[in-house]
Each structure stands twice: as structure tokens, then as C-alpha cells.
Homo-oligomer: A and B are copies of this chain.
């Protein structure tokens, strides 16, 4: 018997985006071999993940984990039906991405002034100016070689230096990034401060200002509220969610704390709600083995992987297949 809400939501599609290779590995001290990164990417794409942020175009001296950014990007670009995204901190990163032919550039700036100063040594206004120049470069690329350009707003739901961030500031920079030419936005709870009420308030405000532009949500589960915040964002109509396999990642300010929301648990929640993601739960769980073999010392989170699917669980894919 189908539950009422599952029928109602059956047609709603949700896009999941793996960020573990970037946000998850970023603060991990052990280098994951390039071949393992590519195996992870290939296996997750085979499980149905349509978009993966595979690396970051920062100077390798800053983050040695991304010393293989070129090889990882080129390898990922060979995987069929995968949108290959990468983080860019600045113009140099955008140039590297364009040269490599990456599909999507994720530019990030912090809404909070202190966080932006510490991260990229400039006030948020100057980051918007940088973004405009990057968009110009992106849009000057020949047809077919132009990557999608995403404007990411870090610390939008709280800052480890400043605490709560005014909603008006989030909306201001969201508008400015869209006016500058962002194809999409990502609103991020970088340090895991958000609660569902705050999520509803911030996302409603941003969505009402930026109209049809896709606004993705990037939540961390640092204080346990990650999936509750996803549910609140769903209520607002958000359909694009970042997450990390095994919840890889952490918080430089809180050793041992959880990082990104756990992709497997997020997928289970969405699928159980009757939302279509295109990702196979059991195949996704299998991908964890690539990580645990490659980095035996990394902390892996996740309830579903330990507990397994509910008895007699029928996935959205199975129900769609049965209905076809």
C-alpha cells in the first residue's frame, strides 16, 4: 500500500551532489591515492549520482590533498553521464577549470565578513567583484566549452567567528551573485549552526529574490540537525542538496565533530519520502568500501550503513518499475 505522501510526491525529482571528494577530504591529513578517488567517482556515478564535486583548484601547497586536481578532473570527465564540478577560490582556479574542460565551477565566498577575510583575505564585496570577472571569463568561452558557473554563499546560516548572520546579508549577496551572472547558487551552513526555522526563513527569502535560479542547499551535520534542515528546505521547494558519502568532512574548529550530512542517510530519507533521486541505495552503500579500504583511519558516519534498509523496504525506483 502506498502512503499518501509518497504518491503525492512521486513525481518530484531531487538532485543529489556528492561533495565528499572536496569538502570531505579537504581537512583529512592523509592523501587519498588518485586511483581511489577515481574509483569512488566511477562507482558513485554507476550508482546513479549525476553530479560530483571532484576536487578543488586551490594551490597544492595550501591543500596537498588536491595536488592531483588535474588528473582527477580529467579522469572524472571520462565517466559517462556525470556532471563534473570543482571548487574554485579565485580567477586562477577558474582558468585551471576551463583549461581542463570541467563542467561546473563552484565559486565560494563567505557571507560573513570575518570568515571571508580569514579565508580569502578580502571583504565579501571584493569577492563579488572577483566573481563578476570570473563570470566574464566563463561567458567568453566558446559554445560547448563554457562551464556552468555556481555562486556559493558560505557561512550563510552562521559563522564560527560572528555567530548568526543576518538574513538580509544572505539575500544581498545572493542577489549580487545572480546579477553578476551565476547560473546557480548554493547556500551553505558551513559550520552546522542551522535549525529548521532558520533554514525556512533564509531559503524562503533567497528563493523569493532570485526567482528561477536553482538554489542548492549545503548542510553540515555538526550538531545533528542536518537532515532536519534538509526537510525544512524541501518544504521551501529546494531540490538540490550537497552531501558527502559516509559524512566525510569535519570541522576545523571542533576536532572529532561530524561534517557534511551523510549521503546514504539523506538518500534513504528522500527515497522513503517518495522523492525520486535516481540513486540506487544499495549500490551507494557499497561505495563506502572504497573509502574504508583507501583511508582506514578516516571517520565514517552514517546510520543506514550500520542498520540496513527497513524490512520489506520498497524504493522509489522499484515502485516506478512496478508501475511502468
B-contacting residues of A (Cβ < 8 Å)? 1, 3-6, 9, 158-164, 166-167, 191-193, 195-198, 200-201, 221-225, 227-228, 230-232, 251, 253-254, 256-258, 262, 265-266, 268-269, 272-274, 302-304, 306-308, 310-313
Closest 8 interchain pairs by CB? A163-B312, A224-B265, A5-B197, A195-B272, A254-B307, A257-B307, A224-B303, A227-B228
Instruction: Kindly state the separation between the CA atoms of A311 and B163 in the bound complex, as whole angstroms.
Output: 5
Q: A164-B312, A191-B310 are in contact. Are A268 and B5 (CB under 8 A)?
A: no
Complex contact B312–A162 (CB within 8 A): yes
Instruction: Kindly state the separation between the CA atoms of A279 and B269 in the bound complex, as whole angstroms.
Output: 29
Closest to A254 in B: B307
Complex contact A3–B197 (CB within 8 A): yes
Shortest CB distance A273–B (Å): 4
Complex contact B223–A304 (CB within 8 A): yes
Instruction: Kindly state the separation between the CA atoms of A257 and B166 in the bound complex, as whole angstroms.
Output: 38
Closest to A306 in B: B257
Complex contact B265–A223 (CB within 8 A): yes
Complex contact A195–B269 (CB within 8 A): yes
Instruction: Kindly state the separation between the CA atoms of A284 and B5 in the bound complex, as whole angstroms.
Output: 37
Which residues of B sit under 8 angstroms from A164, Cβ to Cβ? 1, 3, 310, 312
Contact of A269 among B224, B265, B306 (CB under 8 A): B224
A-B contacts, 6 of them at CB < 8 A, read A223-B304, A223-B310, A224-B262, A224-B269, A225-B268, A231-B231
Which residues of B sit under 8 angstroms from A308, Cβ to Cβ? 254
Complex contact A224–B273 (CB within 8 A): no
Contact of A197 among B160, B163, B228, B274 (CB under 8 A): B274
Complex contact B163–A1 (CB within 8 A): no
Instruction: Kindly state the separation between the CA atoms of A5 and B235 in the bound complex, as whole angstroms.
Output: 15
Complex contact A272–B198 (CB within 8 A): yes
Instruction: Kindly state the separation between the CA atoms of A14 and B17 in the bound complex, as whole angstroms.
Output: 35
Closest to A198 in B: B3
Complex contact B272–A307 (CB within 8 A): no
Instruction: Kindly state the separation between the CA atoms of A274 and B304 in the bound complex, as whole angstroms.
Output: 30
Complex contact B4–A201 (CB within 8 A): yes
